Amino acid sequence: MRRKLIAGNWKMNTSYKEAEKLSKDIISSISKSVLDKVDVLLCPPFISIGIVSKTIKGSGLKLGAQNVYFENNGAFTGEISAEMLVSAGCEYVIIGHSERRKLLHETDKMINKKIHKVLEAGLIPVLCIGESLEEREDEIFEGVIEKQLTDALQNISKQEMEKVVIAYEPVWAIGTGLNAAPEQISAMHRFISEVVEKLYDSEITENMLILYGGSVNEKNSKEILSACGVDGALVGGASLKAAAFCSIAKDASEIKVT
């Protein structure tokens, strides 16, 4: 059976010391019964991956990065490779977050190259896709999502696809306090599943995790995580507060995968 995944994207927040404290606070607030049922992932800034890795060792929490570069090594100042992330204890990488697409001009082609590299290194990519407010209002959002998926998954084999996690994050819901309605979320998760089934087959979609992201917090998590087709959440703001993040993970542990 699919295990839900609750992922915390700390974005460009927390100093080295704060990252250590936040991970300690999460360890003390999360119960074993939650970790028995749900995968709980922390994605700190690059600079704190080492200390978070050390702090969470043996706790059952998982570690991921917020980004990666698509080359192995060399003259790429400021970039971090997939192998470096593996060597620091990461298991997951967020790829194609809308903030990177928009602010750092990350293209679908770059995202595709990153997914290839990450899979080669044995990491699990969390591929973020989502439409802007304008694209939703213009009712072209399904086309946008289909293109993002098709481009990102170019030449990814069926075997590799078994490892890919998708995060549906409508851009208009990220960091805005506006979350999509459960019916909108379920409809989009169903649509994503249909697109992936067309690209691969139903064996892939039956086991594929589709997370929802966009202003998930401890107050709305029960409703969002209960929506049909939601296998977990990618949490930004609320992942910076241990109590809120652990409460979201607890909600996930109490809801059956549908």
Catalytic residues: 97, 169
Nearest residue to the partner ligand PEP, using Cβ: 236
Residue 94 in contact with residue 43, Cβ under 8 Å? yes
- Cβ nearer to ligand PEP, comparing 230 with 235: 235
Task: Supply the minimum distance, in Å, between the C-beta of residue 236 and ligand PEP.
Answer: 2
Task: Supply the minimum distance, in Å, between the C-beta of residue 225 and ligand PEP.
Answer: 14
Task: Supply the minimum distance, in Å, between the C-beta of residue 119 and ligand PEP.
Answer: 21
CA distance 252 to 201: 27
Tokens of 82: 């997939």
- Cβ nearer to ligand PEP, comparing 144 with 204: 144
DSSP letters for 66-108:
S---SSSSSS-TT---HHHHHHTT--EEEES-HHHHHHS---H
Task: Supply the minimum distance, in Å, between the C-beta of residue 2 and ligand PEP.
Answer: 20
DSSP letters for 218-258:
TTTHHHHHHSTT--EEEESGGGGSHHHHHHHHHHHHHS---
Residue 64 in contact with residue 94, Cβ under 8 Å? yes
Residue 204 in contact with residue 183, Cβ under 8 Å? no
Nearest to 152 by CA among 162, 161, 139: 161
Residues that bind ligand PEP (CB under 6 A): 9, 11, 169, 174-175, 213-216, 234-237
Residue 233 CB: number of other CB atoms within 10 A? 29
- Cβ nearer to ligand PEP, comparing 42 with 174: 174
- Cβ nearer to ligand PEP, comparing 26 with 32: 26
How far CA 54 is from CA of 41, 49, 59, 74, 91, in Å, comes to: 14, 9, 10, 27, 14
Task: Supply the minimum distance, in Å, between the C-beta of residue 173 and ligand PEP.
Answer: 6
